[in-house]
A and B are shown apart, each in its own frame.
Chain A
């Protein structure tokens, strides 16, 4: 139902349930407020949004954030009475919280230069608007903080001033706080360098990366407040298309396929395992992917290389073989790190004036144009130091080292121990199989090699297939490799899979087991032994029978059969006896 009102002399027709503040917004009339937020229930505590209304012959001064319009209401947003109250309330708040920015702005708009009242704490920011408390209680449902103490001693606190167990660390309180007086910290003391680099909190509903396809947000159940407390769902409230559905469930699909290509990729070596490198608690120590993101034009800094303090580094160190070629972690070489380190060095030379140090053991530039690229880096003046980095530290020994990261390394070409001060360190972290590697291996019954990557059928002649027919491998799940090699192997795997489907015929193993009907006594010992349930007992005939298609030819039933009724084609007992005899002739 629509009602007719007048605001500051202007006529307006609005829905019955509109508040005065919302109605004014429709006319672009700005009524200042401090404790109002469109997503939370109005609290009407700051009393800055007061207006004077005339309705049913009576005038009154009311708050506009919570009072709804009525038919015939005449509103004056800046009448003498309303303005007097608003200005005094702002002036008094300025005495309480002189450092609150939004308050300063409203004061400026109202023409208040300074407050006549006594200021107790010039650094105080909290305006007691209650947005944090309301967010925690109504939106999040955690109820971890509240107002305590009465009157002028009122402040926001968790119970008894101790961090509350009810706090779920969602930082909604800080998000809603208009004056930035709520801060939060990672309880492990990690500093937030760039929130996009996943070193700080992110929203629970987000688009995973800027290049995601489809470019659609997902809800991270681990951090979503709704899944912790049952409340919130603000995202669903504000979505104009009602596209947010918290009740979606994972679908488990059953697909019947003839072949499977495993392309489960790699994960980066966790550099925090190497404590001396300080990854995770020293500022400006990044791993490979983090630097990739930093230097990417769609990244958090727009592609500019910046340290945590926002300044350009004057010197950068790139450390090779982090977690690779190392008997303490992974013995293998991760193949790609040398080349991407050179790429980083090149980008640094291009984008910054920083001195670039590259700490290597060997330069593995094995591919097409790779060696030439290395030479280019040499010409660019990159400082290559051959030696393993032993430590990255913040502890300075000389004044020049203050405030910098010191790389301690044995320069094997010089034969000396060196301390090299830099501003940023990039760890060229190696590749390891993906996180759920073992689960996949078990599911598909794939063996793994000692370096924990999947085992190919033959290292030279069949790198893209496995010992199980129909299961193929592509990419880093089989061994670390770069993009051209991955593409090549993927093509091979795809071709083999297609060939399998295309053939039209299927080749069976010839070495299956067969049960001689005449010899079988029906003891059924073999039936339970078969891991492929290929043997069944035929009641009418009183013997056991093997299903050719199911039999894989392991020979277990053969060895167990007491009457030698079961025999394996091409591996019959007689054949093996013959082998034994032949072998032991001299």
Chain B
């Protein structure tokens, strides 16, 4: 897709986005938590978040809510991403942008937990 350069183009994007939103009702099916305390940010949480957004867009998946959690007290595991789907919350540690893309594809969209990277479940 071409880069958005003006407010006008942003306005057009909205129409496109609205079509996707129509399919979503009430609470989002999947919640993605990302830890953005000082340690998370220094470890690369921002790039992980952007990779998640990019992958969601590529796959046209909007039934998701992204929530910032601050530090979850798991500093040695930062960046930490948690995915909540079907009532289970799964934590992934040392997430890189590449890992984040795979987590989006397998877990967020298809419900397949990427077990190799899981650090906790609740």
- Say whether A and B bind each other: no
A-side residues, CB < 8 A to B, are: none
B-side residues, CB < 8 A to A, are: none
